[in-house]
């Protein structure tokens, strides 16, 4: 997707502070963090949101979720973290390339 900002980050055309990369997934810090540690897990495959996911994305979704606690720990979130997936305009999604926010640190997060 030529006009997708996360595809440009994945391609290396826009710089980012990467925390992880493998053949299917990248993780990088959010440019506008809402907590002392805030990064996003992003599939290299362009999928707009959870709404566009189907059975063929099952392994990828599992891989993304299983990476969350591992990377959270590596980033110093030893005692807990929050995950967030914004889906669609009314779900507060700004970037239409699927991603999982992982954030925390500093203090216990308020209940939602």
Q: By CB under 6 A, tell whether 50 contacts ligand 5GP.
A: no
Please state, in angstroms and rounded to a whole number, the distance separating the CA atoms of residues 100 and 106.
20
Residue nearest to Zn ion (CB): 4
DSSP, res 56: G
Catalytic site residue 99?
Answer: yes
Among 10, 16, 41, 43, binds ligand 5GP (CB under 6 A): 16
Segment contacting ligand 5GP by CB under 6 A, of 50-58, 63-71, 91-99, 102-110: 91-99
Question: 39-58: which residues touch Zn ion (CB under 5 A)?
Answer: 46
Which is nearest to 53 in space by CA: 41, 61, 65, 42? 61
Please state, in angstroms and rounded to a whole number, the distance separating the CA atoms of residues 51 and 112.
23
What pairs with residue 21 in β-bridges? 26
- Contact positions toward ligand 5GP, by CB under 6 A? 5, 14, 16, 28-32, 86, 92-95
């Amino acid at each position: 997707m030529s006009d997708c900002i996360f595809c440009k980050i994945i391609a290396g055309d826009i710089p980012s502070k990467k925390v992880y990369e493998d053949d299917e997934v990248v993780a990088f810090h959010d440019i506008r963090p809402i907590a002392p540690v805030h990064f996003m897990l992003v599939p290299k495959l362009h999928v707009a949101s959870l709404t566009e996911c189907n059975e063929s994305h099952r392994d990828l979704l599992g891989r993304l979720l299983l990476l969350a606690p591992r990377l959270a720990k590596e980033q110093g979130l030893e005692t807990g973290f929050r995950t967030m997936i914004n889906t669609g305009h009314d779900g507060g999604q700004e970037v239409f390339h699927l991603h999982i926010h992982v954030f925390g640190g500093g203090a216990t997060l308020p209940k939602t």
